[in-house]
A = this chain, B = another copy of it.
Amino acid sequence: MVITMQPGCPKGDVARVISALRRAGLEPRIISSDPRVVLGVVEEISPAEAERLTQDVGGLDGVEEITSFEKSWKLVSKSFKAETTQVQLGSLSVGGPEVLAAAGPCAVESRENFLETALLLHQAGAGALRGGAFKPRTSPYSFRGMGEEGLKIMAEAREITGLPIITEVLTASEVDLVARYADVLQIGTRNMQNFALLEAVGETDRPVLLKRGMMASIKELLLSAEYIVARGNWQVMLCERGIRTFETETRNTLDLSAVPLLKQYTHLPVVVDPSHAAGKRELVPALALAAVAAGADGILVEVHPRPEEALSDGRQSLRPGQFTDMMAGLRRVAAAVGRQLREAGA
């Protein structure tokens, strides 16, 4: 339920509306206050109750209009907030005119390796570094990442390059640890519906990159984002990374329709990870260009200086030269759709 007040109505009017809603057991949130106050009620209410409230509250002074949310998501919806949320990443605003190109290896494997990669990526114009210190692995016997040691290496790479770092957090109990080092907390595809983890990152002040579950619908992705935002953290980027289908030529099927769809439904910025979707490096540049052409606010790709030596995801990691070439293409496509990529090394 969204209550729009008249522009310039006295504060007392707003207070009376809030009181009326609270008497009904609801906790309204102020969605925006300029140029007019808009209040949102996100609790689930029955149609009967909604009608009664609309009559009661609709009759109060200063109320211009009462509408319901179009869809089951609320705080993250365009009905709630029309302009795109900008997520601040260092000097870059994701969701603004600049397009984010975040890159890095699947996992931090050693200090030398990561710093070498970070310098290469900085040189080639990457806007952020990604890398995994805590890795979710399907098998209990696979390499699970370097842990805090990996976080420290990423922090060192940020010192050297000035680039913000994005890394995954796996459990609610590790959120504080990861947030001490990372600029962006990534929620991986297997954790998109780990609700305790969503609430934990919702209580930090760190931007969150929420990856779509590989078999989650758009609606479920938005409701998972709603969990984070409902806890007070509005700095959320959504990430399309491929869904599971019957096609086996690619690891997953990149669902680029998600980009214009999400842009229509939500004010949160949308980034695309073509590496995990494709699973083959030779497909990544074409899909990255397509993502930006479709309106994505950024891309997230895996790059490794020597993919054949990577402990995980080597098959889908770009070589540094391929990344540089792709960046040149991205600059041209971004310009063609009225966006821009930062200059290399800027």
Contacts and interface: CB of A to CB of B under 8 A. Distances in A.
Interface of A: 42-44, 72-74, 136-142, 170-173, 190-191, 193-196, 213-220, 223-224, 226-227, 230, 243-250, 253-257, 259-261, 263-264, 277-278, 282-283, 286-287, 289-295, 329, 332-333, 335-337
Contacts of A332: 336-337
Nearest to A195: B136
Most buried by B among A140, A141, A193, A264: A140
A227 B140 contact: yes
A170 B213 CA distance: 18
A227 B171 CA distance: 16
A277 B253 contact: no
Q: Work out how many copies of this chain go into the complex.
A: 4
Contact of A244 (B42, B190, B246, B263): B246
Contacts of A224: 138
Given A214-B215, A286-B295, A140 B223 contact: yes
A43 B336 CA distance: 47
Nearest to A243: B245
Contacts of A42: 141
A218 B247 contact: yes
Contacts of A255: 245, 247, 253-254
Contacts of A191: 194
A163 B173 CA distance: 35
Given A254-B257, A257-B277, A44 B142 contact: yes
29 contacts: A44-B139, A136-B193, A137-B195, A138-B193, A140-B230, A171-B196, A172-B173, A190-B193, A194-B194, A213-B215, A215-B216, A215-B246, A217-B246, A217-B247, A217-B249, A218-B247, A243-B247, A243-B253, A248-B248, A249-B257, A256-B256, A257-B283, A257-B287, A259-B286, A261-B283, A264-B283, A329-B337, A333-B333, A336-B336
Contact of A43 (B138, B141, B217, B246): B141
A310 B138 CA distance: 36
